[in-house]
Amino acid sequence: MRCLSNIFWLAGKELKSVLGDPVMVVLILWSFIVAVILEASGAGDTVYNAAIAIVDEDGSTLTRQIADALDPPWFQPPLMFGADEAAAAMDRGRIMFTLGFPPGFEADVISGLMPTAQLQVDATAVSQAQLGTDYISNIMVSETRTFLTGNPDAPDPAVALELRRAFNPNGDPIWFKSVSSLLNQLSLLTIVLTGAAMLREREQGTIEHLMVMPLTPWEIALSKVLANVVVVLAAFTLSLLFVVQGLLQVPMQGSLALLLAGTAVYLAAAAAIGMFLGTMARSMAQFALLVIMVIIPIIMLSGGMGAIESQPDITQKMTMALPSRHFLTFAKAVVFRGAGVDTVWVQLALMGGLGLAFFAASLALFRRSMSLVR
C-alpha cells in the first residue's frame, strides 16, 4: 500500500513538472495538432496542384478537350505556351509538365494512324513526376476514346483490370498519414519527456533528495513512466477526436477503447526507452544526440514511411524488436479494418513484452546509476 502511495505522489510531482513547463506544453500542443495536420495533409504520394503547360500546334477540338480534362485538384489550369516559352518556364521551375500536340493530331487520330504527343517532365520531384505521367496518360486515353466514340462509357477491351480498394475506397493518403503521424508524435514526445524527466532530477540536484527518502528505484522509475504516459495519452486522445476524426475527417471503424488501451501499452514501452536513454546520458546535449539516433530508426522502420515488406530481409527481422512496428500494425487494424482483440492480441502481446524488457533494462541501469551516486 505504501508503495502505491509513493508512486501516486511521485507521479503527481511529475505531472506538475511537465504541465508547469510552458515549453513542454507548447511542444505537446504543436506535436498533436499542427504537426499531425501538416504531415497528414502534406502527403506526397498523389499528384496535387501540379503546374502544366500545353503546346497546342493542332488547335483542334480533341486537343482542347484533353486540355480541359487536366483540371484541379490534380493539375493547375493549363497554361497555353509556345514551344520556346514552355521550355524556358520548365528551366525556371515554373511548370512540371509540358504536353505538346503536333499539327494534324486530331486528323491522325480519326484516321487511326496512332499519332504521338510529346510529354516533357521535370523529374526533380521523382514521385510526383512518375505519378503525374500516369495521370496524363490515362486522361489522354480516356478523352480520345470519348472523342472517337462519343460515349465516355464506351465498352472496355475484352480483358480489363477492375480496381477495388478495401478499407480506403478513395485511396485518400490522409487516412494513413494521419495515423502514421500520430505514431511519430507518440514516439518522439514520450521518449523525450521521460528521458528529460530523468535528467532533470540529476541536473537540478533533486535526485539526492529522492535518495534520502524512503523510496526505491522501482517507485521512482515507475512514477515517471506513468506520469508521462498519462500526459501523452490525454494529448493523443484529444488529437484523435478533434484533429484526426474532426478536422481531417478520417473515419474510425474499430473500438476507441481498444485503440486507447493499445496506445497505453505502446506508450509504456516508449517511456521505458526514454528512461533508458535518460539514465544513460549525462547531459541534455548527450541525451538529444541519443534521441536522434534512436527516434529516426523508430520512425523510418515502423512501416509509416515505407511498407515493412519492401525493406531488406535482415531489416525486417530487426524491426521485430521495435514496439513502433507492432503499434502501427495494431492501429491500422483497429482504425481502418475494425479489428477486435481476437485479431490484434499478438501485437498487444509483443508491445507488452518489449515494454517489459525495455523497462527491466532501464530499471537495472537506473539502479546502477543511483548506487554510483551514493
Instruction: Give the model confidence (pLDDT) of 147-164 as tens digits.
Output: 877 665 555 444 444 556
Residues 98 and 247 in one domain: no
Q: Are strands 52-56 and 97-101 parallel, antiparallel or unpaired?
A: parallel
Query: If DSSP codes are grouped into helix, strand and coil, which group holds residue 221?
Result: helix
User: Which pLDDT does position 352 carry in this prediction?
Assistant: 92
- Minimum mean pLDDT range among 39-43, 296-300, 343-347: 39-43
Q: What is the average pLDDT across 179-194?
A: 85
Distance between CA atoms of 226 and 310, rounded to whole angstroms?
36
Residues 57 and 119 in one domain: yes
Q: Does the pLDDT value for residue 263 go beyond 90?
A: yes
**Is residue 284 assigned to a domain?**
yes
**Is residue 258 assigned to a domain?**
yes
**Is residue 229 assigned to a domain?**
yes
Q: If you average pLDDT over every residue of the chain, what do you get?
A: 80
- We report the CATH number of the domain holding residue 123 as 3.40.1710.10
* Nearest in space to 371 (alpha carbons), one of 225, 222, 221, 217: 217
Burial of 49 (0-12, 13-18, 19+ CB in 10 A): exposed
* Nearest in space to 59 (alpha carbons), one of 111, 107, 96: 107
Count of structural domains, the chain: 2
In this structure, the number of other CB atoms found within 10 A of the CB of residue 147 comes to: 18
* Nearest in space to 275 (alpha carbons), one of 287, 265, 262: 287
User: Which pLDDT does position 105 carry in this prediction?
Assistant: 86
Q: What is the average pLDDT across 308-337?
A: 86
**Is residue 158 assigned to a domain?**
no
Residues 235 and 131 in one domain: no
**Is residue 346 assigned to a domain?**
yes
Q: How confident is the model at residue 182 (pLDDT cuts 50, 70, 90)?
A: confident
Please work out, in degrees rounded to the nearest 5, the angle formed at the alpha carbon of residue 193 by the alpha carbons of 188 and 198.
130
> Is the Cβ–Cβ distance between 43 and 248 less than 8 Å?
no
Q: What is the average pLDDT across 46-71?
A: 86
Residues 221 and 369 in one domain: yes
Say which residue, 37 or 201, is predicted with more confidence.
Answer: 37
Q: Which of 8-17, 271-280, 363-372 has the highest mean pLDDT?
A: 271-280
- Minimum mean pLDDT range among 32-46, 54-68, 281-295: 32-46
**Is residue 197 assigned to a domain?**
yes
- Minimum mean pLDDT range among 45-49, 161-165, 175-179: 161-165
Distance between CA atoms of 262 and 272, rounded to whole angstroms?
16
**Is residue 157 assigned to a domain?**
no
User: Which pLDDT does position 351 carry in this prediction?
Assistant: 93
Residues 129 and 183 in one domain: no
CA dihedral 351, 353, 354, 360 (to 10 degrees): 140
User: Which pLDDT does position 114 carry in this prediction?
Assistant: 79
Q: Which of 117-121, 259-263, 281-285 has the highest mean pLDDT?
A: 259-263
CA dihedral 187, 192, 193, 194 (to 10 degrees): 90
Distance between CA atoms of 348 and 330, rounded to whole angstroms?
8
* Nearest in space to 27 (alpha carbons), one of 228, 198, 327, 178: 228
> Is the Cβ–Cβ distance between 86 and 53 less than 8 Å?
yes
Examine the fold and report which residue of 149, 178, 211 is the final residue of a domain before the chain moves on: 149
Residues 177 and 81 in one domain: no
The string of pLDDT tens digits covering residues 114-134 is 788 888 888 766 667 778 888
Q: Are strands 97-101 and 118-121 parallel, antiparallel or unpaired?
A: antiparallel
User: Which pLDDT does position 161 carry in this prediction?
Assistant: 44
- Any alpha helices (H) in 242-340, and if so which ranges? 256-280, 284-300, 313-318, 323-337
Examine the fold and report which residue of 119, 149, 179 is the final residue of a domain before the chain moves on: 149
**Is residue 117 assigned to a domain?**
yes
Q: How confident is the model at residue 246 (pLDDT cuts 50, 70, 90)?
A: confident
Residue range(s) defining the domain that contains residue 85 = 52-149
Q: How confident is the model at residue 186 (pLDDT cuts 50, 70, 90)?
A: confident
User: Which pLDDT does position 349 carry in this prediction?
Assistant: 94
Q: How confident is the model at residue 264 (pLDDT cuts 50, 70, 90)?
A: very high
Q: Does the pLDDT value for residue 261 go beyond 90?
A: yes
Task: Calculate the alpha carbon distances from 362 to 1, 220, 262, 327, 358 in Å.
Answer: 24, 12, 22, 21, 6
> Is the Cβ–Cβ distance between 177 and 39 less than 8 Å?
yes
In this structure, the number of other CB atoms found within 10 A of the CB of residue 125 comes to: 15
Residues 84 and 215 in one domain: no
Residues 233 and 333 in one domain: yes
Residues 184 and 276 in one domain: yes
User: Which pLDDT does position 265 carry in this prediction?
Assistant: 93
Examine the fold and report which residue of 149, 179, 194 is the final residue of a domain before the chain moves on: 149
Residues 141 and 181 in one domain: no
Distance between CA atoms of 63 and 56, rounded to whole angstroms?
7
Residues 143 and 245 in one domain: no
Q: What is the average pLDDT across 245-251?
A: 86
Entry pTM: 0.72
Q: Does the pLDDT value for residue 1 go beyond 90?
A: no
Q: How confident is the model at residue 259 (pLDDT cuts 50, 70, 90)?
A: very high
User: Which pLDDT does position 48 carry in this prediction?
Assistant: 74
Q: Does the pLDDT value for residue 304 go beyond 90?
A: no
Residues 224 and 270 in one domain: yes
Distance between CA atoms of 42 and 88, rounded to whole angstroms?
28
- Minimum mean pLDDT range among 131-145, 194-208, 270-284, 311-325: 194-208
User: Which pLDDT does position 361 carry in this prediction?
Assistant: 86
Q: What is the average pLDDT across 176-199?
A: 83
User: Which pLDDT does position 160 carry in this prediction?
Assistant: 46
